[in-house]
Every structure is written in C-alpha cells, then in structure tokens.
A = this chain, B = another copy of it.
Amino acid sequence: IIYVITPTYSRPHQKAELTRLKSVFLHVPSLHWILVEDATHKSKLVMNFLESSGLSYTHLHQSTPPDWKLQDSDPKWRKPRGVLQRNAGIKWLRRKLRGERDLRGVVYFADDDNTYSTELFKEMRDTKTVSVWPVGLVGGVMVERPLVSRAPTPHVTGWLAGWKPDRTFATDMAGFAVNLALLLRRSDAEFSFTSSIGHMECDFLEKLVTLSQLEPKADLCTKVLVWHTRTERPNMKDEERLRKAGTPSDQGIEV
C-alpha cells in the first residue's frame, strides 16, 4: 500500500486542487489517501468530495495554532506549512497499525498543489528505507536532484540544489518516500515547527536514514516525475462587490 498524506486548507481553489490530485490517484493501484484539513473541524466540501471520489481514504483535521499560521502579509517562507497536518497523518498510521505484523507499504507526503505523474508512484512502491528522486521547479531552480554514483552499487553522494546544497538531505517534501515499517519503528520521526528555515525535510530524514542508505529512483534520478507547482490565488475583485451587495456568485453552488 502507498499511504499518501496530504495537508490541505480552505481557499477558493481548494476543490480544484483536490480534483487534480484525485485524477492522478485514481490511476494508482492500492493507494490510501490520508487527507488532513488544517481546520478545527472537517468541512462539508472535503467530506463530500472524498465520499464521491472512488478513492480509499481517511479524512482527518488538525488546525494550525494562530501563532504558526501564515498571514497574508507574511512572505511564503516565513513559516512552515502543513507541519501538524503531516504529523496527524503519521500519528493516525501509528495508532491504526499498532500491533499489525504486515507493515509492507510506503508513506509519501504530497502537498495539494504540486503536480504528480502516475509513474512517480510506480517508482516509490518498493521503497525499503527512504527513496529519493528529482523535483522540478523548486528552490529557485528548474530541478533539485540527488547526485548518484553508479559504483559499486548505485548510491546517492550529494545534492544538486540552488539553495543550500550542503544540507544533509537537500530535498523537498515531494522528493522522497519512506518505508512504512521504518517510519513506525522510529517513534520520534515527525516534522517540527522549530526546524530552522528550509531544514524541515532534512531534520525529519535524519531521524530515519543516512545518505548512503537512500535509494535513488527514477532512472538513477535522471527523470523528473513530480513538479513543485503553485497555483495563483484567483482574482476575486468582483466577488467582493457581489458579497457586499448580498449576492455572492457561489450562492447555492459549490466551487
């Protein structure tokens, strides 16, 4: 099984993002989607969406405390996003699989706005420790990727990155998957708000593996199968006017 943990939050294009993920995930056999809303309760929108999705899923919620919530005025990199939501997903797995003997599976952290190919999931499926691969359009460059040496057996020697390439694991959240049994065995493996900026992935992976244990995937990290895309916040200029007039365009219709 591939467990995909996705943090998500309410915004005009949330359902569009989830719809794009659904289209990919429906192509992937034995995928279980753990969708974690950053909210104080589960929303009707996400609930109905999942119910009619045809996917195997678990719907959770876990709100980010106000102190850690990104404000519209903050630059994007100021605060880590999705931290508690990913941890809620991990906790759910620990609880649900406690005492389970068959722990074959993989865990992947998939933000709701990235672009995933179906091939990506084939690559990660047989992860024994932590597998890694290139990620497109991230960190101010076209692609961040593990550097791979073929001899004596293929292994990762370092990272090609524009920003802080000297990090032990200079990869984005989208660039790795973890073996399920390994993740559950390391009971301290979770994400932290207090990681220094840009080191969240790194600090997490340090609890799980060393560089030499990484499994390079995607043709020895020569193929881009996932892209760190972001969606523009849609222009809602006229909507504000309509709302003030008491006639919002989405009255009685879910967008």
- A181 interface hit (Cβ, 8 Å): no
- Given contacts A24-B23, A224-B253, A16 and B115 within 8 Å (CB-CB): yes
- Given contacts A224-B253, A249-B141, A238 and B163 within 8 Å (CB-CB): yes
Q: Name the interface residues of A135-151: CB closer than 8 Å to any CB of B.
A: 136-145
Nearest CB in chain B to that of A140: its residue: B238
> Inside 8 A of A27's CB, which chain B residues have their CB?
23, 26
- Given contacts A143-B250, A160-B249, A249-B144, A16 and B238 within 8 Å (CB-CB): no
Size bracket, chain A contacts: 35 or more
- A206 interface hit (Cβ, 8 Å): no
Q: A234 contacts which of B24, B137, B234, B241 (Cβ < 8 Å)? A: B137
- Residues 241-254 of A, flagged 1 when their CB comes within 8 A of B and 0 if not, give 11000001110111
- A229 interface hit (Cβ, 8 Å): yes
Number of this chain's copies in the assembly equals 2
Interface centre among A20, A23, A238, A252 (most CB of B within 10 A): A23
B162 touches A16 (CB 8 A): no
Nearest CB in chain B to that of A236: its residue: B140
> Inside 8 A of A143's CB, which chain B residues have their CB?
249-250, 253, 255
- A134 interface hit (Cβ, 8 Å): yes
Q: Name the interface residues of A196-255: CB closer than 8 Å to any CB of B.
A: 222-224, 227-232, 234-239, 241-242, 248-250, 252-255
A-to-B contact residues, CB < 8 Å = 12-13, 15-17, 19-20, 23-24, 26-27, 115, 117-118, 134, 136-145, 160, 162-163, 222-224, 227-232, 234-239, 241-242, 248-250, 252-255
